[in-house]
Chains A and B, each alone.
Chain A
Amino acid sequence: MSIASLYALVGVGLFCIGLHAVIAYDHLLRKILAINVMGSGVFLILIALARRGGIVAPDPVPHAMVITGIVVAVSATALALGLMLKVAAATGRAELGDEGGD
């Protein structure tokens, strides 16, 4: 097993840990953070797989995709946090639940 596969497996682990938190927790801030952890896992997989076959240098195209993805993730997180503040201001709780939303 190469070192690139090890990093890719760590990325898979991060993705699954984040997915667990997205499903298991109600608080919206936890969900937003968990989605960011999932995204970090995907970025790590992309970077690790770009190393495959790189005798001279890694494949630059996945690296460019990850740079693009990080910026999009940051701006999407900012929008999600704004929405969360709006939900908290409207309902008093930063959660999505059945009992509060009738």
Chain B
Amino acid sequence: MKWTHWLLLPLLLALAAGLGYAVLSLPDRAQGLQSAVAAQLDQSGVTNPVTAVLLNFRGYDTLLEMVVLLLALLGVWSLGASAPACSQSTPGPVLDTLMRLLVPVLVVVAGYLLWAGAHAPGGAFQAGALLGAAGVLLNLTGGRLRHGLGRVALRVALVAGTVAFMAVALLTLLGGRALLEYPPAHAGILILLIEAAATVSIGVTLAALFLGNDATSEREQ
């Protein structure tokens, strides 16, 4: 540890200097993709360029990312119940009041972010993160979410985003278009539909990742 540590610092400083030089030597004005995005923005169904890229122009990236979330959850579940189980203690009055106030606010803000994503910064991932935070909060303050979702309902909520995305992709294929090439007249409502399902899935997946093990299968044994 000692002599390698002294070797490590100069190496890292050299790496930092090299990366810093690379960043600084980039041209100040770069031709990015913003003009290409702006040219097609009125066809995308939304007015926020980031949402247009995420859900329309690069839709299959986002579709595969939903699959990555599911794969991570499968990995965590397949590791088994090694995490210490949450104790079922009743929360104190302060924590209980905070949870009762905060969880509805989180859900409302998640809905707003989902809706605002069409024209302002926001969207399915931000809203899903808030839903996940609400689920984590519920779990930390008494584990009530475990009794809220049954085995089937949990799995339906987990795959809803991916299924909705794939259904839309198949419909566009059947309609004679390319994969995930929405018809411009219906692009906005399709994106909102996908985002709503994805928000639920992302939120439930993040909360389930936090729980660590498949609580529903444990309960039914």
Q: Which residues of A does B touch, CB under 8 Å?
A: 1-2, 5, 8-9, 12-13, 15-16, 19-20, 23-24, 45, 49-50, 52-54, 56-64, 67-68, 70-72, 74-76, 78-79, 82-83, 85-86, 89
Contact = CB atoms under 8 A, between A and B. Distances in A.
Given A61-B53, A85-B83, 12 more contacts: A16-B12, A16-B15, A19-B12, A45-B23, A52-B28, A57-B38, A60-B49, A63-B50, A74-B206, A75-B209, A78-B210, A82-B76
B52 interface: yes
A85 to B, nearest CB: 5
A68 B65 contact: yes
Given A9-B23, A24-B8, A2 B28 contact: yes
B82 A68 contact: no
Chain B interface residue bracket vs A: 35 or more
Contacts of A75: 68-69, 72-73, 205-206, 209
Nearest to A13: B16
A16 B118 CA distance: 36
Contact of B8 (A1, A23, A60, A74): A23
A59 B34 contact: yes
Interface string B19-37: 1100110111111111001
Contacts of B180: none
Contacts of A86: 79-80, 82
B75 interface: yes
B26 A49 contact: yes
Interface of B: 1, 5, 8-9, 12-13, 15-16, 19-20, 23-24, 26-34, 37-38, 49-50, 52-54, 58, 61-62, 65, 68-69, 72-73, 75-76, 79-80, 82-83, 123, 125, 202, 205-206, 209-210, 212
Contacts of B82: 82, 85-86, 89
A98 to B, nearest CB: 12
Contacts of B123: 67
6 contacts: A19-B15, A53-B28, A58-B34, A63-B50, A74-B206, A82-B75
Nearest to B208: A78
B24 A54 contact: no
Nearest to A90: B82
A77 to B, nearest CB: 9
A71 B28 contact: no
Given A16-B12, A83-B79, A64 B24 contact: no
